Chains A and B, each alone.
Chain A
């Protein structure tokens, strides 16, 4: 090949373009990232596998009976039925109480409040509240919400003489616990709506409320639903506040209370059952604890899945 011929220059170009030697650093970095991912997944997988294997016998032998039975000190008849009811009640209560208040607060902070020192101070404090340990919220619940519940109970059901340590008090406490999370995620999704959309809305002759309701909120819904997912998951899993307010994990009787009155009496929830059974020295209770964890995971994952589906359905692509 003569120098300068097309064939020669083709070889030359190909040589300069091709990689010289193997890029060890990139390969090593990719491998390290992959290892971290595998490690994280492995931890979760081991946890789930261990719990499922140990809890399977109980679920397969007793199945629906386990899911519907009440608490008991006898391993053969103990079940999580009351816990499922308690956890679902807490989840529903949190959605009804914390989400609307949190979203309205976020709307006020982002759209209506003037940008001054007071507003910034409030926003910082809300962020701090999100980081307060849950046991402190438990103390708040015990000091404030339990007496309040007792008062409410004495007004609605004057004949009952309850202590106020009930699922109502626990639900209010957990709503207070997740409220900062709802406010923060809702604020961020409202803030993420482009200013040009608001501008266009005002330009078309809309008032501030119309812009917020018809333009900002619909676009912020996916983010708000994410906040709902996070807060419900958190509420379903918190144990410390329940213990401080007073939760049962052994047999308890609601006495002669009906369903509504029972809301003001002794109660239980799935994480508390897990805690209680885990502390039980009897051998049979190890399997029961594992089974209860499986149920708790299933309930949490189900709630998350519903919320994720809702969020994907309403997602807007800019």
Chain B
């Protein structure tokens, strides 16, 4: 799969896309009630291949809605690869292949009829190094809504997204300034605002704080705690203290001898860090390796 998208219609009409639309309408992002027990993202017996190399194997993960789930593990164990399968970003790399099912609201994301572009509108992503567009702050946030055919009040949407990303007060007087003129922490918050502007219900974060200073890191963690009222967050992090501080659930992955990553243990964060069931988990969280 190396097509980001061929021509697609906005709000695709295929069965799976209709189902995605309906689910998006039925579970509005503003719903503050306790999330249902039904997992919002689920991996079932997933294997992922770069060509003939199997990067992750036997993945079974359950992600609960409106919680922060952290993926931790040593370098190279496939955390980022796994994260990028959720919003089909790996489709951009030629020769990649998914086996098994990755479900979003019970719908298999890798069915033939699913349009990756529609998936990415509902599952947003924040990258490791802040990468705002070389456009104004306003246009950065407005980009997602514009390309998805948003017809409502764009000014309101931009303001709302920037407020939710805790950036509005810093930039409300300079929306026309280039997004690149902000500091690192501000740029990353701009990227978060950009990701939530399309009103997804899941936000994927790939080591979002690794390029930031400690103060900005804590600001972003506070932001995540606020965001989880309305969004489900899945974060990959190298920083164990961050996982312990900020997440509700933790998935610990490790690399096997065949260099494929697998899930060692997944549980509530408190359990993983204070009472791990697997010896490897205990070794990792106490810093003996990784």
Contacts and interface: CB of A to CB of B under 8 A. Distances in A.
Nearest to A208: B4
A44 interface: no
Contacts of A211: 4
A205 B144 contact: yes
A196 B147 contact: no
Contacts of B133: 197, 200-201, 215
A299 to B, nearest CB: 34
B49 interface: no
Nearest to B197: A204
Interface in A263-318: 316-318
B117 A203 contact: no
Contacts of A215: 133
Nearest to B87: A203
For the side of the interface on B, what is the size category? 20 to 34
B171 interface: no
Interface in A77-125: 114-115
Nearest to B2: A114
Decide if the interface of chain A is mainly helix, strand, loop or mixed.
helix
B4 A203 contact: no
A318 B134 contact: yes
A191 to B, nearest CB: 16
Interface string A208-245: 11110011001100000000000000000000000000
A218 B129 CA distance: 22
B94 interface: yes
Contacts of B134: 197, 218-219, 316, 318
Contact of A204 (B6, B7, B8, B143): B143
Interface stretch (B24-32, B105-113, B120-128, B280-288): B120-128
B190 to A, nearest CB: 11
Interface in A122-173: none
A114 B87 CA distance: 22
Nearest to A215: B133
Interface string B177-196: 00010000000000100110
A197 B147 contact: no
A124 B285 CA distance: 53
A214 B4 contact: no
Nearest to A202: B4
B195 A203 contact: yes
Given A219-B134, A316-B134, A204 B195 contact: yes
Interface in A178-204: 194, 196-197, 199-204
A18 B187 CA distance: 45
A208 B94 contact: no
B129 A203 contact: no
A206 interface: yes
A207 B191 CA distance: 18
Given A196-B131, A211-B4, A214-B143, A204 B117 contact: no
Contact of B89 (A199, A316, A318): A199
A32 B113 CA distance: 67
B5 A199 contact: no
A196 B5 contact: no
Contacts of B120: 202-205
* Residue of A194, A200, A316 with most chain B CB atoms under a 10 A cut-off: A200
A203 B147 contact: no
Contacts of B198: 204-205
Interface centre among B6, B89, B92, B131 (most CB of A within 10 A): B131
Contacts of B148: 205
Given A199-B89, A219-B134, A207 B144 contact: no
A79 to B, nearest CB: 48
B56 to A, nearest CB: 20
Contacts of A205: 117-118, 120-121, 124, 144, 147-148, 198
B5 A204 contact: no
Nearest to A206: B147
Given A201-B133, A204-B198, A214 B180 contact: no
Nearest to B204: A203
Interface string B58-88: 0000000000000000000000000000010
B125 A207 contact: no
B127 A199 contact: yes
B106 to A, nearest CB: 21
A202 B123 CA distance: 11
28 contacts: A199-B127, A200-B132, A200-B191, A200-B194, A201-B133, A201-B143, A202-B4, A202-B89, A202-B92, A203-B120, A203-B124, A204-B124, A204-B143, A204-B144, A204-B147, A204-B198, A205-B120, A205-B144, A205-B147, A205-B148, A206-B144, A207-B5, A207-B7, A208-B4, A208-B6, A214-B147, A218-B134, A317-B180
Interface of B: 2-8, 87, 89, 92, 94, 117-118, 120-121, 124-125, 127, 129, 131-134, 143-144, 147-148, 180, 191, 194-195, 197-198
Given A207-B7, A209-B7, 20 more contacts: A114-B2, A114-B94, A196-B129, A196-B131, A197-B131, A200-B131, A200-B132, A200-B191, A203-B89, A203-B127, A204-B120, A204-B124, A204-B198, A205-B120, A206-B117, A206-B144, A208-B5, A214-B147, A316-B134, A318-B180
